Structure 1
Amino acid sequence: MNDCGKLDQVRMEAERVSLHVLGLAETRWTSSGQVNTNGWMLYYVGDDNVHQRGVGFLVLPKTVKSVLKVQPISDRIITIRLNAKPKPITIIQIYMPTTEADDEEILSKYAMLPKVVDECPKKDRLVVMGDFNAQIGADRHHMSCGRYGVGEANEHCPAVRKTEKPWIDDLAIQDLILQRRQAKLNNFQSPEYRHLCKAVKTACRRAKRKWLDDVSAEADKSFRSGNSKQTYQLIRQISGRKCPQAGIGIKDENGEILYEAASIRDRWTEYGTQLFHSVAPRLPQDERRPELLEPEIIMLSEIRTAIKKLKAGKAAGQDGIYGEMIKAGGETVVQAMKEIIDNIWNTGEWPSDWTQSEIITLPKVPGTLECSKHRTISLLCHASKVLLEIIRCRLAHYIMPQIAEEQFWICCW
């Protein structure tokens, strides 16, 4: 494709056969990027210096809007993720070295492919295609083209697998599994097959134990360093717990199932009002001006400290502003927050976005239709958390002396 007019020829051929996504190998384009050609989008990656190797994808204009991510791995591997139904699709396009290349280069490129496969989302439909420059063979050991291959697999034929068990990544275990599979095809009652079954179970048991020890040690390290997000992610890997799926509807107060989106929204509004309605007696209003109650002004150092405490990776509130955006603003954001907070401190009126939150419902039981069997999460504006943190720190000065030693362990100040 390095010659003039080659890209147009490839595009016209893709249009003739009505392709949506066309994988390209040996494009011979340098660097990486994307090119629009008559509405079609070409995503490519190649060598930085010479016009050799290179892979890419040519995507139909109406399919471009379904592209979620394009990730160039090297000048021989590129991946693309498409939004599709019922599941997203991840396509890996490869161009492997020929047998004339050095063995070290061949092995390194083929060793890279399983790592790329493991990094793909587990729930996606996976397609691995391209020019392997290898003879696949007619057996089904490599799960590439099934029994319809030609001849026998050569030594460079890749073994592409996507396993749900992360501890089965050792080549020795995979070779044992292949030997057991072949022994089962020959004679599943033979002593060789029974011996291989025991060997596979023993190897997998040891590998799983080692994997659990490593993940547990990493989780303990992240917990001690205060990284709670990574800790929960590692614990989720060990437990294997999946998030319960929501039901197709929701029940009203009378037990009838609601299916319409508007009716479900009204039901959640009614339930949320009852859930968060406070029956506690209201304290008498103090008619004194706010500045007389708390003469100290909000200091810039307090705002900076509160902004630093904003956690990363949290969803935005009604204003669509993330905590990372506030942190990245530097002194400009600090001065702006100073003006807003001073206005709130003097008038006692909060911005409307700061007083509203978005309620997210998560089912505790898979497929439940009961509102009471859902967990609610409030998405607050991160800017309001800055003022709330300042107020919390000021209240801690008065509350801490009132907490008994027996209750100190539950204190979060």
Structure 2
Amino acid sequence: MREEKIGVIQIYAPQSGRTTEEKEHFYEMLQAAIDLFNERLKIFVIGDWNGHVGVDRVGYEDVIGVFGVGERVLDFCTLNNLKIMNTFFQHRESHKWTWYGWSNDRGEYVCRSMIDLIVCNDKRNISNVKSIPSESMDADHRLVVAKLTFKKLRSRPPPKRRRLNLVKLKEGEIKQRLNGKIADEVTTIDGECELLNVNEDEVADHWEMGEVRNDESLEITSNEVKAAIKRMKNGKSAGCDGLPAEIFKEAEETLLPYLVSMFNAAYKTATVPAEWSKALICPIFKKGDRTVCSNYREISFLPHMGKVYERILEARLRIVLKRSWVNGNMVFDQEEAPQT
């Protein structure tokens, strides 16, 4: 059934000559088996019920069809909202009987009944049920066949990603509402947050540029933050925080004091919030077999908040390197000059 699951229970009920206790025990076991299934699951109970259904449908219209034969045993099906599908399709008499009683004295079948039943909780999945009178295989039961039909499951489309109409941010009213919302929601940074520790010795060894200096007097200014935001490109995908670069530009004046405070806290402690290092990774197919992972390249989307901070540090490093680079050579202080 591919993705669709069904529940099938095959039974052999006690014969009519068995004790009442044995029959009650059988139906208790059958009820326990049905209770194990989810009520939304399609359930099929098939086999020899050793019980009869009747032609009188009064009170049982949902359980049996108009083509039933024999006597009645319907309480169990009514309790569990099951349909006896043998009775819902019109066939000639020989295609209804599933059991024949043979008389050795008379040398012929003297009784017949419909006791091999196909029962389900959703009759829409069965389009035909009948017995095959010519297929007995030297037994008193006849082969019962059913035609099942299942609709092809529709694959659910992936949830659409909510897209922001960033062009409207340039409209005066929208921009004013944005800044007002930010002013109401954003609060002054206070207390500790989860930080990503930075080892200065490891950084120095990696870049081989000597001691990492952390001058607490060199605070990040609002002009540096403005310059970094101005350099950010529009139309770039946001990171896990969902904030595009356009938000920082259009709400710059409102966000500026909070950004300056946050960046200075990160600069003085040589740490950054762990969220800035979290990336959304999107695999892009290149060529070849789509089932091979090496045929994809990954694109990482980082939060723009961390990118603004990176641009500030990068601008400062460029100033330092520019001052130290003279005539194509790196100039060191006397005490930092390499030994030759």
TM-score (norm 1): 0.28
Q: Greater relative contact order (Cα 8 A, min sep 6): structure 1 or 2?
A: 2
TM-score (norm 2): 0.33
Larger radius of gyration: 2
Higher-helix-fraction structure:
1
